[in-house]
């Protein structure tokens, strides 16, 4: 809470235009809003076709909090060992089937899905250090047809890959999808 209040002071003094948070649960966000009266402008969360967090997404919209969607490719990071038996998100047959229709990869379809859900309240931030993938990421801004968005919506496995709870001794994401 101290850090958030310090950021709030920076905003009040004109040193910051807005305050954002990352990886907060709904209960943590509600506590911050209640104790400070300041709604964060942005919240960075893991979100992809296998962890869609539709209820949390709707709550953000209701509060006017912009979502920055990280890990749009799901389990590409080698440190994400949870759900290894599922394979890689970007190799999901449905994503690749849809990709063929648009001459795009499964990764590009995952990006387009995030953008389709974003409208005015979500940004999607892919990560790559490979030049070819960076170029491909920039080609993920095509528009999916509504029927394809619905197909991808049906893929939700509530599979959270980024959960450092065991490493940090804190139970992150208690009240969110993907927490088993």
Predicted pLDDT at 36? 92
- Cα dihedral 18, 22, 26, 29, rounded to 10, equals -40
Who contacts 107 (Cβ-Cβ below 8 Å, separation ≥6)? 73, 90, 126, 133, 136, 137, 140
Residue 48 is given by DSSP the state B
pLDDT of residue 120: 66
> What is the reported pLDDT for 81?
65
Calculate helix-pair angle for 146-153, 106-118, nearest 10 degrees: 100
* Burial (Cβ within 10 Å: 0-12, 13-18, ≥19) of residue 82: middle
Q: What is the pLDDT of residue 180?
A: 60
**Residue ranges of the domains in the chain?**
41-158
| Local confidence pLDDT in tens for the 180 residues of the chain | 788 889 888 889 999 999 999 999 999 999 999 999 999 999 999 999 999 999 999 999 999 999 999 999 987 766 566 667 678 899 999 999 999 999 999 999 999 999 998 776 889 999 888 898 888 888 877 899 999 999 999 999 999 888 888 888 888 888 888 776
* pTM for this prediction: 0.88
Name the residue with tokens 């009040």: 12
Domain 41-158 in CATH 2.60.34.10: no
pLDDT at 43: 97
- Which pLDDT does position 139 carry in this prediction? 81
């Amino acid at each position: 809470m101290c850090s958030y209040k310090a950021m709030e002071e920076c905003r009040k003094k004109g040193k910051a235009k807005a305050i954002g948070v990352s990886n907060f649960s709904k209960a943590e966000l509600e506590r911050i809003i209640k104790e400070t009266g300041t709604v964060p402008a942005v919240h960075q969360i893991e979100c992809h076709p296998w962890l869609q967090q539709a209820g949390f997404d709707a709550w953000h919209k209701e509060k006017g909090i912009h979502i920055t969607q990280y890990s749009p490719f799901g389990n590409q990071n080698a440190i994400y060992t949870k759900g290894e038996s599922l394979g890689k998100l970007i190799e999901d047959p449905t994503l690749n089937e849809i990709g063929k229709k648009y001459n795009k990869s499964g990764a590009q379809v995952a990006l387009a899905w995030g953008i389709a859900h974003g409208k005015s309240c979500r940004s999607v931030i892919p990560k790559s250090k490979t030049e070819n993938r960076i170029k491909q990421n920039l080609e993920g801004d095509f528009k999916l047809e509504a029927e394809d968005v619905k197909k991808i919506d049906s893929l939700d496995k509530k599979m959270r890959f980024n959960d450092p709870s065991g490493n940090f001794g804190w139970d992150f994401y208690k009240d969110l999808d993907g927490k088993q």
